[in-house]
Chains A and B, each alone.
Chain A
Amino acid sequence: MADYTLELAHLYGDLMNTYGDYGNIIALRYYAKQIGVDVDDRLVSLNEDFNPKAYDFVLFGGGQDYEETIVANDLKAKADGLKEYIENDGPLLAVCGGFQLLGHYMEMADGTKVDGIGVMDHYTTNMTDDQVKTLNGSRLTGNIVIKNNETGEEYHGFENHQGRTFLGKGEKALGTVTTGQGNNGMDKTEGVIYHNVYGSYFHGPIFTRNGNLAKRVLATALSRKYPDINWQAKLNQVPTETF
């Protein structure tokens, strides 16, 4: 038993885990273990309450269109809890569909409009929307590299999405696209940072390939829960996996 424990909620982990999203938990646990911290992950799925006070980290992964519509419907009941969690600087990683559903709405490839919970200010059109001036009608697929302008960190990943996301007021991009397409293929933004929410189209395991980001988010979560310890310093001693 480690002395410190992070409580992690895997939001709809049974339905929204299509692209190896679970790898993010594996990566967090990998780094946490090396500094004596346990990560306790719990599935929070359909018809279950989300208690914003119970968690130190939330993972909301990507799903297939079909599951995403089911989740979107259930998510309304968790919206207040998630809003409270986010506004209180709760750390959250949202990938692909999870990223989309925290915004105002998203459009499926077939044009169906699905309501998000609007706890964040972005919205997502589909690939054939008039607003899409670049690569209209095609999925954005391939390897991607972005750079976080504030930290200078570079993140590597793989994107595969039809939806085009446009960030809103108060939202910063996770990074600027160096190679690849990013949120919409047009404005060079990729992902989002809002309070301690990190959103991205990087498929599934963004933390596994980008140890720098995993460690940063882990330090944030730990410092929020155990403020008297210099977690960043501890994590600096741990080798970073990046590829």
Chain B
Amino acid sequence: MSVKSQLAKFTAKSSHFLLRNILKRGGTSLPGKLAVKIDPEVLQTIEKEFDLVIVTGTNGKTLTTALITRVLRAGGYTVVTNPSGSNMVQGIVGTLLTTKVKPSPNGKKPVAVLEVDEANVLSLAKAIEPKYFVLTNLFRDQLDRYGEIYSTYDKIIAGINQAPNATVITNADSPIFARGSYSNQRIYYGFDNVKEADFKDLKAPTNTDGILSPTDNSVLHYDFITYANLGRYFSTTDGFKRPKLDYAVTALNELTPKSSAFDLDGTSYKIAIGGLYNIYNALAAYAVGRTFDVSPADIKKAFEEDKQVFGRQESLNVDSKDVTILLIKNPVGTNSVIDMMETEKDPFTLITLLNANYADGIDTSWIWDAEFERLHDSRLASLSTGGERYKDITVRLKMAGFDLDGTYQKTEDILKAIDQAPTKKIYLAATYTAMLQIRAVLKNHGYIQEEY
């Protein structure tokens, strides 16, 4: 490390100290900014200290990052991650610089597992060369902010091209990930839980995208679909098909709203969270773990021991009501939440809160692509709405054929909705800022202790 780098590192550390302890702000963004200003070389220093794993994609980044971290730690690696959700480049550099790195207990190089926004993959890869890219999925997500999926994918590819020696651990079930020219080694994970005798000839539902074959732009068919545009796809016009899997879900054993039991390459695992999409996150973490030589037994331990990692889907007790808060932000994510509610065995109440602030996406059109109609086949007993855009979501659900039990225009009134719900089980599905608002109310009334 050059003197300059050491100085940069010192500056980052002390500014972090200042921020944290004197200004009482938990920020990880500023220290990185200071360090990069002083010396870009400091980044090379980071490269020498860590194997860098970048996790990117539309949905599931946070949980996948957390699971990979647990899995690698269970395998004896020292792991640094960006849990603060600050996934801008500056913040990441700040995290890496201000973390004390102990050698890995297993004697191998420490690993940095970082959640990175699709748009930031290139700038990060330019700064620090990753060893692995983990791609979760690509769906349209708040187009007013993120743009179209093909241009988003191009940005990720540009990042991958910055690091030709890195390995790409990618979701084989997503056709868009079969696109793009890069020479990197690829490791594929996906679902192989359907027997050939049960294969059908399917097409993805109309409200998904990214369903064109990269060879000739024909619409792809599927032997089976897991959800949205994910599944075992093939082309009817040429030999193009889903690549051979290196790591696979080989059986789905039991799916409930709060747990998922499944086999990966023939071994049984369980995670304390519902939703098929979360099995993809676990599968990605498993693929990374196996790539790093973590044993199935250690991966099992990582999945099953620590429940805290699944904190996003949190359950609260509100005056003896069992309330689960679910974040919704785009059609595929919402459909996944609906999938999960379909596995609920008890009658339940759904309260849906819609906001359209910048962080939610200012265009509410996406609610029309979420398949709320499917809730007719669930044990839904009562339905109400709220949020700043309560009108939009109310009409959406009305046109889906539901009679609403209430519309709550003020966040404070959601407590009434909870109180008056006819069931013990309540799902609160909310967009990001609506979730923050309802959490604040729940915290004010003592139902939540910790900060989100």
A residues engaging B (CB < 8 A)? 10, 13-15, 17-23, 26-27, 30, 43, 45-46, 63-67, 70, 141-142, 158, 160, 203-205, 208-209, 241, 243
Once A22-B207, A160-B143 are accepted as A-B contacts, the answer to whether A27 and B399 lie under 8 Å apart by CB is yes
A17 touches B399 (CB 8 A): no
22 A-B contacts, Cβ less than 8 Å apart?
Answer: A13-B206, A14-B204, A15-B212, A17-B206, A17-B207, A17-B369, A19-B143, A22-B369, A23-B365, A23-B368, A26-B368, A27-B399, A30-B398, A46-B219, A64-B140, A64-B149, A160-B144, A160-B363, A203-B365, A204-B369, A209-B392, A241-B395
A20 touches B144 (CB 8 A): no
Interfacial residues of chain B within 72-130, with CB under 8 A of chain A in the complex: none
B206 touches A241 (CB 8 A): no
Which residues does chain A contribute within 8 Å of B211, judged by CB atoms? Answer: 14-15
Q: How far does the alpha carbon of A20 sit from the alpha carbon of B372 in the complex, in Å?
A: 13
Which residues does chain B contribute within 8 Å of A22, judged by CB atoms? Answer: 206-207, 368-369
Q: How far does the alpha carbon of A36 sit from the alpha carbon of B356 in the complex, in Å?
A: 35
B266 to chain A, nearest CB (A): 36
A120 to chain B, nearest CB (A): 24
B209 touches A67 (CB 8 A): yes
Decide yes or no whether B300 CB sits under 8 A from chain A.
no
Kindly identify which residue among A66, A160, A243 contacts B392, using a CB–CB cutoff of 8 Å.
A243
Kindly identify which residue among B148, B204, B398 contacts A241, using a CB–CB cutoff of 8 Å.
B398
Which residues does chain B contribute within 8 Å of A142, judged by CB atoms? Answer: 362
Which residues does chain A contribute within 8 Å of B392, judged by CB atoms? Answer: 209, 243
A203 and chain B: residue at smallest CB distance:
B365
**Which 10 A-B pairs have CB atoms at the shortest separation, nearest pair first?**
A23-B368, A20-B368, A20-B365, A204-B365, A243-B391, A64-B148, A13-B206, A66-B150, A19-B365, A30-B399
Once A141-B144, A208-B396, A243-B395 are accepted as A-B contacts, the answer to whether A14 and B206 lie under 8 Å apart by CB is yes
B209 touches A64 (CB 8 A): yes
Q: How far does the alpha carbon of A75 sit from the alpha carbon of B249 in the complex, in Å?
A: 40
Which residues does chain A contribute within 8 Å of B368, judged by CB atoms? Answer: 20-23, 26, 204-205, 208
B436 to chain A, nearest CB (A): 22
Question: Size class of B's contact patch?
Answer: 20 to 34
Decide yes or no whether B301 CB sits under 8 A from chain A.
no
Beyond A23-B369, A23-B399, A65-B151, list 15 extra A-B contacts (CB 8 Å). Answer: A10-B206, A14-B204, A14-B206, A17-B369, A18-B209, A19-B366, A20-B367, A20-B368, A23-B368, A142-B362, A158-B364, A203-B363, A204-B368, A205-B368, A208-B396
B363 and chain A: residue at smallest CB distance:
A158
Q: How far does the alpha carbon of A18 sit from the alpha carbon of B332 in the complex, in Å?
A: 12
Which residues does chain A contribute within 8 Å of B219, judged by CB atoms? Answer: 14-15, 45-46
A211 to chain B, nearest CB (A): 9
Which residues does chain A contribute within 8 Å of B363, judged by CB atoms? Answer: 19, 158, 160, 203
Interfacial residues of chain B within 416-433, with CB under 8 A of chain A in the complex: none
Decide yes or no whether B449 CB sits under 8 A from chain A.
no
Q: How far does the alpha carbon of A65 sit from the alpha carbon of B398 in the complex, in Å?
A: 32
Q: How far does the alpha carbon of A195 sit from the alpha carbon of B151 in the complex, in Å?
A: 36
Q: How far does the alpha carbon of A10 sit from the alpha carbon of B211 in the complex, in Å?
A: 17
Which residues does chain A contribute within 8 Å of B204, judged by CB atoms? Answer: 14
Decide yes or no whether B400 CB sits under 8 A from chain A.
yes
Q: How far does the alpha carbon of A67 sit from the alpha carbon of B143 in the complex, in Å?
A: 15
Decide yes or no whether B155 CB sits under 8 A from chain A.
no
Decide yes or no whether B218 CB sits under 8 A from chain A.
yes
A158 to chain B, nearest CB (A): 5
Which residues does chain B contribute within 8 Å of A19, judged by CB atoms? Answer: 143, 363, 365-366
Which residues does chain B contribute within 8 Å of A15, judged by CB atoms? Answer: 209, 211-212, 219
A66 touches B206 (CB 8 A): no
Which residues does chain A contribute within 8 Å of B399, judged by CB atoms? Answer: 23, 26-27, 30, 208, 241
Q: How far does the alpha carbon of A13 sit from the alpha carbon of B395 in the complex, in Å?
A: 22
B206 touches A43 (CB 8 A): yes
Interfacial residues of chain B within 194-212, with CB under 8 A of chain A in the complex: 203-204, 206-207, 209, 211-212
Q: How far does the alpha carbon of A66 sit from the alpha carbon of B211 in the complex, in Å?
A: 12
Q: How far does the alpha carbon of A241 sit from the alpha carbon of B396 in the complex, in Å?
A: 10
Which residues does chain A contribute within 8 Å of B362, judged by CB atoms? Answer: 141-142, 158
Q: How far does the alpha carbon of A43 sit from the alpha carbon of B396 in the complex, in Å?
A: 22
Once A43-B206, A70-B212 are accepted as A-B contacts, the answer to whether A205 and B365 lie under 8 Å apart by CB is yes
B203 and chain A: residue at smallest CB distance:
A14
A20 touches B150 (CB 8 A): no
Which residues does chain A contribute within 8 Å of B308, judged by CB atoms? Answer: none
Decide yes or no whether B217 CB sits under 8 A from chain A.
yes
* B383-422 interface bits toward A, Cβ cutoff 8 Å, 1 = contact, 0 = none: 0000000011001101110000000000000000000000
B367 and chain A: residue at smallest CB distance:
A20
Which residues does chain B contribute within 8 Å of A30, judged by CB atoms? Answer: 398-399
A20 touches B203 (CB 8 A): no
